C-alpha cells in the first residue's frame, strides 16, 4: 500500500494511508489488544481487576491515550524515513513483531480460563515456533542481501523489537502471571513501533 501511495502523495500521507489499510485488513485486532492492555495494566491494581478491565469492551482513558500516542509514533517515525527504508521497515516489522508476540504463546502461561487465544496457546509447539522464527529469518536475510536497510539499522531494529517485547512481557508476568490475547496484541504493536524508532535512530534524521 505504501509503495503505491507514495507515488501519488507526500510520505506522511502515504504512511497514514498504509496504516489505515493495515488496520482495516486486520480489523484493528492488535490495536484493540494494545488499548485493552493499556487500560488493564494502567487501571488495575490486582490481577483479577486487570483481567476484568481487559475483558471490558469499552475503552478507557489509558487505552485511548495509549493507542493515540502509539499510532502517532508509528506514523511520524515512518514518515521520517526515506522511501526505501520505510518499505523495508514495513516488510520486516510486521512479521518480526508478530514473532515477538508468538514467543509468549510458546513460553508463557495463558491466564484466562476461557478466551479467544486459549486454543492457540494450547497448540503452540517447539516445531511451530521454529517454523515461525525461520520465516522471519528468511525475511531478514532477504532485506539484508538486497541492501534495503543497512545492517546496523536492521540490527538496531531487531534489538529494539526484542527489548520492547521483553519489557512488556515481563510486566505482564509480574502483573497477571502470564499473558492474555490482549497482551499479544499489545506486544505486537509496541515491538513494531520500537523497530521503527530504532531504525530511524540508527539511520539518523
Mean pLDDT of the chain: 92
Q: How confident is the model at residue 6 (pLDDT cuts 50, 70, 90)?
A: confident
Residue 88's pLDDT is: 96
Of 46-50, 111-115, 141-145, where does mean pLDDT reach its minimum?
Answer: 111-115
Q: Using the predicted structure, report yes or no on whether residue 120 has a pLDDT greater than 90.
A: no
Q: Which domain holds residue 130?
A: 2-203
Q: Note if the pTM is more than 0.75.
A: yes
Residue 118's pLDDT is: 56
| CB 184, CB 104: distance < 8 Å | yes
Q: Mean pLDDT across the stretch 33-45? A: 92
Q: How confident is the model at residue 147 (pLDDT cuts 50, 70, 90)?
A: very high
Domain count, the chain: 1
Residues 54, 50: Cα–Cα separation, whole Å: 6
Residue 7's pLDDT is: 84
Q: Mean pLDDT across the stretch 99-119? A: 81
**What percent of the chain is predicted at pLDDT more than 70?**
94
Q: What is the pLDDT of residues 18-32, one digit of tens each?
A: 999 999 999 989 999
DSSP at 148: S
DSSP H helices, 6-115, are 11-26, 29-43, 47-55, 61-79, 83-107
Higher pLDDT pick, 201 / 3 = 201
Residue 123's pLDDT is: 63
Q: What is the CA radius of gyration of the chain?
A: 17
Q: Using the predicted structure, report yes or no on whether residue 78 has a pLDDT greater than 80.
A: yes
Residue 5's pLDDT is: 84
Residues 109, 44: Cα–Cα separation, whole Å: 20
Residue 45's pLDDT is: 85
User: In which residue are the cell numbers 502470564 written?
Assistant: 178
Residue 40's pLDDT is: 92
Burial 125-150 (b: 16+ CB within 10 A, else e): eeeebeebeeebeebbeebbeeebbe
Which of 191, 185, 193 shows the shortest CA–CA distance to 37?
185
Grid coordinates given for 131: 517454523
Q: Using the predicted structure, report yes or no on whether residue 154 has a pLDDT greater than 60.
A: yes
Q: What is the pLDDT of residues 176-205, one digit of tens each?
A: 999 999 999 999 999 999 999 999 999 986
CA trace torsion 64, 70, 73, 77 (10° rounding): -150
Maximum separation of any 2 CA atoms in the chain, in Å: 50
| CB 96, CB 195: distance < 8 Å | yes
Residue 161's pLDDT is: 98
Amino acid at each position: 500500500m505504501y509503495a503505491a501511495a507514495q507515488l501519488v502523495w507526500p510520505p506522511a500521507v502515504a504512511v497514514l494511508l498504509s496504516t489505515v489499510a493495515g488496520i482495516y485488513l486486520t480489523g484493528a485486532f492488535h490495536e484493540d489488544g494494545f488499548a485493552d492492555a493499556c487500560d488493564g495494566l494502567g487501571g488495575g491494581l490486582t490481577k483479577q481487576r486487570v483481567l476484568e478491565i481487559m475483558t471490558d469492551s469499552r475503552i478507557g482513558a489509558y487505552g485511548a491515550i495509549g493507542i493515540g500516542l502509539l499510532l502517532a509514533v508509528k506514523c511520524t517515525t515512518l514518515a521520517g524515513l526515506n522511501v526505501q527504508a520505510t518499505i523495508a521497515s514495513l516488510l520486516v516489522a510486521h512479521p518480526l513483531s508478530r514473532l515477538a508476540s508468538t514467543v509468549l504463546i510458546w513460553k508463557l502461561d495463558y491466564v484466562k480460563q476461557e478466551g479467544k487465544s486459549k486454543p492457540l496457546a494450547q497448540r503452540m509447539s517447539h516445531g511451530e515456533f521454529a517454523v515461525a522464527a525461520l520465516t522471519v529469518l528468511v525475511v531478514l536475510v532477504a532485506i539484508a542481501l538486497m541492501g534495503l536497510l543497512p545492517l546496523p539499522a536492521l540490527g538496531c531494529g531487531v534489538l529494539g523489537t526484542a527489548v520492547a517485547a521483553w519489557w512488556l512481557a515481563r510486566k505482564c508476568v509480574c502483573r497477571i502471571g502470564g499473558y492474555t490475547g490482549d497482551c499479544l496484541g499489545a506486544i505486537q504493536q509496541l515491538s513494531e513501533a520500537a523497530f521503527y524508532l530504532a531504525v530511524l535512530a540508527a539511520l539518523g534524521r
